[in-house]
Amino acid sequence: MEVRKVFAATLEKMMRENENIVMLDADLAKAGGTFGLREIFPDRAFDVGIAEANMACVAAGLAAYGFVPFIHSFAPFASRRIFDQIAVSIAYGGNNVKIIGSDPGIAAELNGGTHMSFEDVAAMRAIPGMLIFEPVDARQMEEAMPAIVEYDGPVYVRMFRKETPDVFTEPDYKFNLFKADVLREGTDVSIFVTGLLTSDALRAADMLREEGVSAEVINIHTLKPVDRQAVLKSVKKTGRALTVENHSVFGGLHSAVCEILCEEFPVRCAAVAVNDRFGEVGRLNELKRFYGLTDRDIADKAKTLL
């Protein structure tokens, strides 16, 4: 199922249960899956128009009065375009606003370079008190929603809108916002991955296994704060770290993991990420190949650490 549909359905359910939850969109409710909420909750779901900075400030004001606002736009417009409003109006006052940035990085596909946010995590990580979450699939998005609402403070969510491969299929899967998920046990190299490329990392681990390499795959769904214990536990076993992300190599998952390791357990590290490039127009698989983000790229990069 599409992630945006699960997000919208879960949000609707939570809005029925909690009258303090409100939804604001910047002329992208249909794209974000929340278009129907305005009919169900006419006094709690709003379209502010193409005015993202105003949306952030309205949300900050609502949060100051005890509401729990969700705001949505495409990732570059929900992060870099309104960075000052997020930093000052939302985060500086610790306002409880949940920011949904949809289709980050290459997920923007045919919308092209202006719509591709390869720097949003780097920007949001620099804001004090900001929690950053990136779901793998619809199931994880659904499981995370109550925790996101319960967390008292600003949250930035990098949400792929469309359907993704199901990674979490176990009926007893228990989500913890602050704990990484070990998807595959291994002994030779630790692969830390987030969001859209998680299924690619798992396929890369299968390729490596066929080549005699045991790869551990860990999903880092919360990019701030990163689960330090999970990172250290895995790398102390394997002695090697590879990060995989749909983001610039600067300031995202790679930076977060390396910050932990250089302080506590220095090992050889490498990254599969976007290397100092702007976005391009293309289909998802084309863009993976263009930026070197395929399962084969991941497997080959892992082998350079051996």
- pLDDT for 30 beyond 80: no
- Bridge partners of 268, per DSSP, are 240
Q: What's phi and psi for 104, nearest 5 deg?
A: -75, 155
Give the pLDDT confidence score for residue 107 in this predicted structure: 94
Q: How far apart are CA 297 and CA 253, in angstroms?
A: 17
Spatial neighbors of 223 by CB under 8 A, at least 6 apart, are: 121, 125, 132, 133, 134, 194, 252, 253, 256
Q: Which own/partner pairs from 226-230 qualify as long-range (CB within 8 Å, at least 24 positions apart)?
A: 226/180, 226/253, 226/256, 226/257, 226/260, 227/178, 227/179, 227/180, 228/260, 228/264, 230/179, 230/180, 230/182
Give the pLDDT confidence score for residue 29 in this predicted structure: 81
What value does the mean pLDDT take over residues 5-19?
95
Q: How far apart are CA 142 and CA 8, in angstroms?
A: 10
| Token couple for 254 | 């790679």
Give the pLDDT confidence score for residue 12 in this predicted structure: 95
| 253: number of Cβ within 10 Å | 27
Residue spans of the domains in the chain: they are 3-159, 181-303
- Bridge partners of 70, per DSSP, are 23, 98
Could you please report the per-residue DSSP string of 113-159? GGG--SSHHHHHHTSTT-EEE--SSHHHHHHHHHHHHHS-S-EEEEE
Same fold, 3-159 and 181-303: yes
Pick from 80-84, 110-114, 142-146: least confident: 110-114
Q: How far apart are CA 234 and CA 125, in angstroms?
A: 23
The confidence band for 77, taking pLDDT boundaries of 50, 70 and 90, is: very high
Give the pLDDT confidence score for residue 178 in this predicted structure: 98
- pLDDT for 255 beyond 90: yes
What value does the mean pLDDT take over residues 1-19?
93
The confidence band for 254, taking pLDDT boundaries of 50, 70 and 90, is: very high
Strands 222-224 and 131-133: antiparallel
CA neighbours within 13 Å on the CB side: how many for 11? 31
Q: Is the distance from CB of 3 to CB of 160 less than 8 angstroms?
A: yes
Q: How far apart are CA 72 and CA 82, in angstroms?
A: 12
pLDDT: which is higher, 189 or 163:
189
Q: How far apart are CA 178 and CA 229, in angstroms?
A: 11
225 preceded by a cis bond (ω within 30 of 0): yes
> What pTM was estimated for this model as a whole?
0.95
- pLDDT for 51 beyond 80: yes
- pLDDT for 72 beyond 80: yes
- pLDDT for 32 beyond 80: no
Give the pLDDT confidence score for residue 176 in this predicted structure: 97
Given the structure tokens 């969001």, which residue do they identify? 195
Q: What is the mean pLDDT of the chain?
A: 95
Q: How far apart are CA 97 and CA 109, in angstroms?
A: 28
Q: How far apart are CA 208 and CA 200, in angstroms?
A: 12
Give the pLDDT confidence score for residue 112 in this predicted structure: 87
Give the pLDDT confidence score for residue 271 in this predicted structure: 98
Using a pLDDT cut of 70, give the percent of the chain over it.
100
Give the pLDDT confidence score for residue 170 in this predicted structure: 87
Q: How far apart are CA 245 and CA 227, in angstroms?
A: 16
Task: Domain 181-303: give its CATH code.
Answer: 3.40.50.920
| Token couple for 232 | 């250290």
- pLDDT for 28 beyond 90: no
Q: What is the pLDDT of residues 193-245, one digit of tens each?
A: 999 999 999 999 999 999 999 999 999 999 999 999 999 999 999 999 999 99
Give the pLDDT confidence score for residue 164 in this predicted structure: 86
Give the pLDDT confidence score for residue 303 in this predicted structure: 98
Report the residue count for the chain.
Answer: 306
Q: Is the distance from CB of 72 to CB of 79 less than 8 angstroms?
A: no
The confidence band for 106, taking pLDDT boundaries of 50, 70 and 90, is: very high
Pick from 32-36, 202-206, 267-271: least confident: 32-36
Task: Domain 3-159: give its CATH code.
Answer: 3.40.50.970
What value does the mean pLDDT take over residues 260-289?
97
Q: How far apart are CA 39 and CA 216, in angstroms?
A: 46
The confidence band for 55, taking pLDDT boundaries of 50, 70 and 90, is: very high
